[in-house]
Structure 1
Amino acid sequence: MLTVASYNIHKAVGTDGRCNPQRILDVLDEIGADVAVLQEADTRLGLRTSVLPENLLAARGWQAAPLGQQHHEGRAALGWHGNAVLLRGDVRLTHSHRITLPCLEPRGAVLADVAYGNHVLRLVGAHLDLSGLARARQMQAIIDAAAKAPGNPPELVMGDFNEWRRGGAALAVLARHWREVALGPSFPSRLPLGRLDRAFAHPALAVAAAAVHATPLARTASDHLPIWVRLGA
């Protein structure tokens, strides 16, 4: 089994207005995540830096995929346009790279191939356009990037797609390649109404379970609830 979480951590600022990075990692512990794709993991203005301190990640057993780009006073960005990948335990990173997305605002996605047991998974994490004007093109860019990456492992695409509509164009583009994993609403975390956080899986992946993680801690830690997918053999 491998449990993969996707979490828009809102720069570690919770619904109580407090910035608390440790609380984000506590939520991932509640889920029992082996791998986590994060959105809004870095500061947004100026030189981006991680909102999750490196020493805290290391103390909690997390390794970050080398996706960050900018440095400032020794502090590096954790991800690419806020998208980051964390892994721990026996999960190994075999390849990762940043994906540049067509956009009207700064947006990106990240790709990471991870090995667990005798399996390799291609994981894509994304945070898509808020306006909706570029989301379909962004989805196509993700599909193209996953196809061009070396090797051919099955893909799991997760993230904050910012799509409120069930039949939105971006989701239709993705659904032509992968099947959507059934999940409930995740935003806003206090009273979820929108299915903004979604997951799409290659048909070859055995999805044993999937859910929105809606504990009291998760409702406070960020304005989004995390989602998770558990893969079987």
Structure 2
Amino acid sequence: MAGKRSGQGRDQVRVVSYNIRKGLGLDRRRDPLRILRVLGEVDADVVALQEADRRFGLRESVLPQILMDNHSDYEAVPLDVQTDSMGWHGNAILVRRGIAVEAHDIIHIPCLEPRGVVTARLSVRGQSLAVFGMHLDLSGLWRRRQARVIADLAAAASETNATVLMGDLNEWRARAGTFREFKRHFSVLDCGPSFHAARPLGRLDRIMHCDRLKALDCGVHRSALAARASDHLPVWADFAL
């Protein structure tokens, strides 16, 4: 389970990255409400989702708006890309209601298969936070190219804002070029193994941050519900504001 925040989170921000596998659980049931209940367990302020939209057709959101309104404390950052989608290439950012979205954008990255990055600048308890959400390529060569582009763009954002990057990096190797690219500008947290949810071995899901943020704690959210909801477990991190 995710750890409790001291001071009820007044001087902290909790972020989460979660590949929700289009809402398809290990029991082969597509259950968006179960995903929202897992997010309720983790109790984050900002969430980066991967595989948040259907892959084909209209690519509609996996999490229907009516469920978001009635069964969660979150709103999706409006990316203005497709009317039926929550994200872009499956990437989405959710924020707890009351957190202001000051700006948002999508980023095109070099890719072998359709990939993209979503970003938003948020006002969290009066402080500005830049967030980047991503799902990188299965190819190691393309992952490193993508990491280089994302790291440079995020480094520019970190000159004026506290900056956090989150997502499914699809990287199994701790010494891979993907991490070398990000580590030029950011600290990479090791939250723990989050894939496969049935038997976590791979540290595919990562959270990274600039030196404007102090990491207080991080980990993998493990619960009976999370172990069935997707093939990934959520990873989380707490930062001091």
* Equivalences for residues 48-59 of structure 1 within 5 A: 48-59=59-70
Residue 114 of structure 1, CA deviation: 1.1
In structure 1, the partner of 2:194 is: 186
Tell me which residue corresponds to 1:130.
138
Establish whether residue 216 from structure 1 lines up as the match of residue 227 from structure 2. no
Letter in 2 for 1:64: A
Please point out which of 224, 234, 237 is paired with 1:229. Answer: 237
TM-score, structure 2 normalization: 0.91
In structure 1, the partner of 2:100 is 92
Structure 1 residues 151 and 78, CA gap change in structure 2 (3 angstroms): farther
- Structure 1 residue 133: Cα displacement: 2.5
- Asked if 1:153 corresponds to 2:140, the answer is no
Equivalent residue in structure 1 for 2:81, among 61, 69, 82 = 69
- Shift of residue 147 of structure 1? 4.3
Between the aligned partners of 1:176 and 1:200, the Cα distance in structure 2 is 12
With over 3 angstroms needed to count, the CA separation of the structure-2 counterparts of 1:151 and 1:175, relative to structure 1, is closer
Contact 2:46 2:94 in 1 (8 A): yes
Aligned: 1:175 with 2:187: no
- Aligned counterpart in structure 1 of residue 128 of structure 2, from 92, 117, 120: 120
Residues 36-95 of structure 1: per-residue CA shift (max 9 Å, x gap): 110000001233110100111122232111125224xxxx11001000001113321111
Structure 2 residues without counterparts, runs of 5 or longer: 1-11
- CA displacement at 1:135 relative to structure 2: 0.6
**TM-score after normalising by structure 1:** 0.94
Return the offset for 1:160.
Answer: 0.1
- Give how far 1:203 is off: 1.4
> Considering only aligned residues, what root-mean-square deviation do their CA atoms show, in Å?
1.5
The answer to whether the Cα contact below 8 Å between 2:16 and 2:234 also exists between their aligned partners in 1 is yes
Mapped to 1, the partners of 2:176 and 2:158 lie a distance apart of 30
Q: In 2, distance between residues paired with 1:159 and 1:113?
A: 17
**1:108 aligned to which of 97, 116, 120:** 116
Match in the other structure for 2:41: 30
Q: 2:141, 2:225 → 1: CA distance?
A: 34
Paired positions, count: 229
2:202 & 2:213 partners in 1: Cα distance? 26
2:46 aligned partner, one-letter code = V
Q: Which moved more, 1:139-148 or 1:106-115?
A: 139-148
2-structure distance, mates of 1:11, 1:5: 17
